[in-house]
Amino acid sequence: MAHELDLTPDPRVLQMLGEINLHQWRCLAELIDNGIDSFLNAARAGHAIENPEVSITVPTRDDENARVSVKDNGPGMSIDELENAVKAGWTGNNPLSNLGLFGMGFNISTARLGLVTEVWTTRVGDPEYIGVRIDLDELRSMRTFRVPRQTRPKADHNDHSTEIVISRLKPDQRSYLARANNIKTIRKHLARTYSSLLQGTEVENLRLRLNGTRIDARRHCIWDPDRTVELPDRTVVRAVERIDVPLAPRRYCTHCMLMLPSDGTPCPTGSASCNVVETPRRIRGWIGLQRYLDEAEYGIDFIRNGRKIEIGCKDPFVWSDGEISEVEYPIDDPRNRGRFVGEIHMDHCRVSYTKDRFERDDPAWEEMMRIIRGDGPLQPMKAKQRGYGENRSPLFRLFQAFRRSSPQGKNGLWSRIMVVKDNERARQMAESFANNESEYLSDEHWWQLVEEQDREILDTGAPPGGETPATGGVPPGFLDPGVGGQPSPDQPSQPPSPEPQAAPRRPLHELTRKYSHPTYRVEYEVQGFAVEARDADLPAGVPWILKMEDVATRTYAFLVDPDHAVFRSTTMTPLDGLLTELAYRTLDFLKGQVQDVSLAAVLADFRSEYCVESRLDSQEIIALATSVLGDIARSISEKLATGQGDILFAELSEQEQNAITRRMANREVPDHKGVIASGRFLDYAEPQSIRAFFNRHPELFLDGIYWDDVFAKLDFGSATVTDEARERVRSRYDAYLVDAVWLANQTPNDLEKADRDALVRATCSLRLLRPDIAT
């Protein structure tokens, strides 16, 4: 006898879905996805929506009557489409080309936010709005999913829209949404998640609004794609590497949402609704260089059908052989700051039901990783050691050119790695970029700082090639007449000049910025200029002056003579002089307003805010010492003849040999004999062993091999005199290494208690140990 079983789930299932931990902005994103999918479907049907818009309204007060609304001006739904749209587990979307996936996003997000959900929709030509009201408490008490259809009048038959309204919000959700800072967080997440769509790549002219204010795409602040550097092997690397790789198509069941083998195997579910299609695939996007460094704000964004699923993913920077994993970037920055960013579109890889992660067990994920970073380690030595061949992947190219956050070598140029030395300044300019301030949208301001840093290293005092200094962003009247090749209106074409005139002022982009006291919020807009001692506005014998130059914009000109004797000091820089002036003016401004404020306190606050790069940070110093010693150790292997590594290893003491082999064993080095034979064993040596190795073989480092100082080539015609001269060179570098070894063996706590002069001397030694050649 046949029996019919009622498998309708208990209404409590919907409330249980609401217990899934989904962040508030993700709840809204699920509902936004529905609107965007309606735009996509309309465009594919040849009826694209003009000026598509999704408007989100969230409460600003913790009130029992608070509601959340998500409304779009999409084509609307019929009654059957509405019924299916609110049904848990149903989806009419093609999961390969739409944002919606499993048919659960609507139910999870609405139940997470509140207990009552209404959906109202209408199409062009419909006489009324149709709607449905889902009250989770009523459904549970009645133990049924059946709810009546609702209608309401429609003023204009041409209207088309869908609105989702969530009321009787849960207390914790009301409390969260009522806080202004949380609304800013939601706006930031939505701006990033939909940045690709908001830039018109999939839906033309799409707009998102939150509480009436438009959400602009949060774009990456990257260097201009046309900027390039050349590696020692003549390879040219761009600041942005483009990716567009077609892949072999895959078979896919759109009903069961399963990828199928390419051998023609049918869908294993065997359902009559199965629809197996062959879907084209490609990996496209870019990986590039951010204009600033950050401890967290870097990584790759992975995108599915225009929506970012993962933002700032660091997985591509980790190499794994299946047993061990190793972070490969950032490894050269003492503060572990990164700047590699990118956007990779991957529409054919599975994602989690909460749409916050691509599934790593999908073969498409591993396929994508091989395309963007190659098979082996990013570090060439380790790749070679493990038997991997040539790597031409985009991330590998960026890694070779831009892995470092400071120039290599004593006279390395910042333009070679595209880094602004004052990273806090670069970050502040990035905020101006994020706020769409026009003068910061291009990378010109950042590049001016880089060029200024290089001029300081080259010590030319003027732009390369004798060009006139750039004057971009300098208000009229700040520069001397005639800068830029144009005489002033009152100046004759050939004025008599019996006495030599002061050279034109040179903009100091490193000092030009807005300065704000972190506590009292007193602000100064400052334009910095390098001037000669005879500049008309600089009093005789004075190293600098800060003067109000533009009253309307309250902009100050800071004129500084960099050749003044006061700067022939390790404790005084032009920035120190400027901050002293600002501290004095701030103290004068606060008189009568703030009690017990002192010049010392104000100056200390300014320095903590704007002298980050010169701070003696214990953790950073230790990391830098370890990095410097590691670079010295790694330089050896490329200079040795075949088999010479075994000879050098045999020279080590038994204790040193055991320490090195033990460290190789702990790191599971597969071919330790090959490492020793090639000379790469020093990579695993203790700091003291690296120093001892140098003292045994200074000829492997000097004479232009790693440092330029002459050693083996010294010859004074007398063996005794020559040996003495060589010993002086060796002992000088050994003294630097003593400092580096001391720092590498300290803990941050130890250095906090160390003598300041000892720290300054040791950090100077680290600078002197940088290579003189590109390695």
More confidently predicted of 94 and 575: 575
- C-alpha to C-alpha distance for 37 and 699, rounded to whole angstroms: 68
Q: Are 317 and 384 in contact (CB under 8 A)?
A: no
- Condensed to tens digits (0 to 9), the pLDDT of residues 403-422 reads 999 888 777 899 999 999 99
State phi, psi for 422 to the nearest 5 degrees: -85, 90
More confidently predicted of 478 and 94: 478
Task: Flag the least confident range among 139-153, 252-266, 430-444, 652-666.
Answer: 252-266
Give whole-number Cα distances, 202 to 72, 198, 307, 418, 738, in Å.
17, 9, 10, 32, 60
Helix or strand (DSSP H, E) at 164: strand 161-169
pLDDT value for 471: 57
Task: Flag the least confident range among 164-168, 303-307, 319-323, 734-738.
Answer: 319-323
- C-alpha to C-alpha distance for 87 and 147, rounded to whole angstroms: 12
Question: Does residue 462 register a pLDDT over 80?
Answer: no
Tokens of 91: 């989806």
Mean pLDDT, residues 445-455 taken together: 92
219 pLDDT tier (thresholds 50, 70, 90): very high
pLDDT value for 162: 93
More confidently predicted of 642 and 708: 708
Instruction: Return the DSSP state at 615.
Output: -
Sequence-ordered alpha helix ranges (H) in 566-653:
574-590, 599-610, 618-634, 644-651
461 pLDDT tier (thresholds 50, 70, 90): very low
Spatial neighbors of 693 by CB under 8 A, at least 6 apart, are 636, 648, 652, 682, 685
Average pLDDT, the chain: 85
- C-alpha to C-alpha distance for 559 and 536, rounded to whole angstroms: 11
Its sign, for the CA torsion 186, 188, 192, 196, is positive
**Omega before 330 within 30 of 0, i.e. cis:** yes
- Condensed to tens digits (0 to 9), the pLDDT of residues 494-546 reads 555 555 666 788 889 889 988 999 888 899 999 999 999 999 899 999 999 99
488 pLDDT tier (thresholds 50, 70, 90): very low
Query: What pairs with residue 117 in β-bridges?
Result: 134, 166
Q: Residue 633 half-sphere exposure, CB side, CA atoms within 13 Å? A: 26
pLDDT value for 165: 96
More confidently predicted of 338 and 255: 338
Question: Does residue 59 register a pLDDT over 90?
Answer: yes
Tokens of 323: 């047993």
pLDDT value for 168: 94
Please name which of 616, 583, 577, 615 lies closest in space to residue 598, comparing C-alpha atoms: 583
Q: Are 315 and 608 in contact (CB under 8 A)?
A: no
13-17, 83-87, 160-164 — which one is most confidently predicted on average? Answer: 160-164
Sorted by where each begins, the domain ranges of the chain are 12-212, 228-405, 503-605, 618-768
Mean pLDDT, residues 621-629 taken together: 90
Query: What pairs with residue 230 in β-bridges?
Result: 236
Decide: helix, strand or coil at residue 344. Answer: strand
pLDDT value for 493: 53
Give whole-number Cα distances, 307 to 105, 197, 285, 304, 317, in Å.
15, 7, 13, 5, 22
Share of the chain above pLDDT 70, in %: 88
Give whole-number Cα distances, 208 to 33, 57, 356, 569, in Å.
11, 11, 20, 55
Torsion of CA 241, 246, 248, 249, to 10 degrees: 120
- C-alpha to C-alpha distance for 725 and 742, rounded to whole angstroms: 26
Report the interhelical angle of 105-113 vs 24-44 (nearest 10°): 140
Give whole-number Cα distances, 616 to 19, 736, 763, 764, in Å.
48, 18, 9, 12
pLDDT value for 243: 96
Q: Which runs of E-coded beta strand occur in 474-554?
A: 506-507, 513-516, 523-530, 544-550
Question: Does residue 208 register a pLDDT over 90?
Answer: yes
State phi, psi for 525 to the nearest 5 degrees: -95, 120
- Condensed to tens digits (0 to 9), the pLDDT of residues 689-724 reads 999 999 999 999 999 899 989 999 999 999 999 999
Specify the CATH number of the domain 12-212. Answer: 3.30.565.10
Question: Does residue 466 register a pLDDT over 70?
Answer: no
pLDDT value for 369: 95
71 pLDDT tier (thresholds 50, 70, 90): very high
231 pLDDT tier (thresholds 50, 70, 90): confident
- C-alpha to C-alpha distance for 372 and 346, rounded to whole angstroms: 12
Opening angle at CA 152, ends 149 and 158, nearest 5: 115
- Condensed to tens digits (0 to 9), the pLDDT of residues 544-592 reads 999 988 777 789 999 999 999 999 877 789 999 999 999 999 998 888 7
464 pLDDT tier (thresholds 50, 70, 90): very low
Mean pLDDT, residues 192-197 taken together: 92
The one-letter code for the residue type at 312 is G
- C-alpha to C-alpha distance for 375 and 511, rounded to whole angstroms: 44
Q: Are 626 and 744 in contact (CB under 8 A)?
A: yes
Q: Are 209 and 215 in contact (CB under 8 A)?
A: yes
Neighbours of 20 (CB within 10 A): 15
Helix or strand (DSSP H, E) at 518: none
Q: Are 635 and 775 in contact (CB under 8 A)?
A: yes
Question: Does residue 245 register a pLDDT over 50?
Answer: yes
Instruction: Return the DSSP state at 774.
Output: -
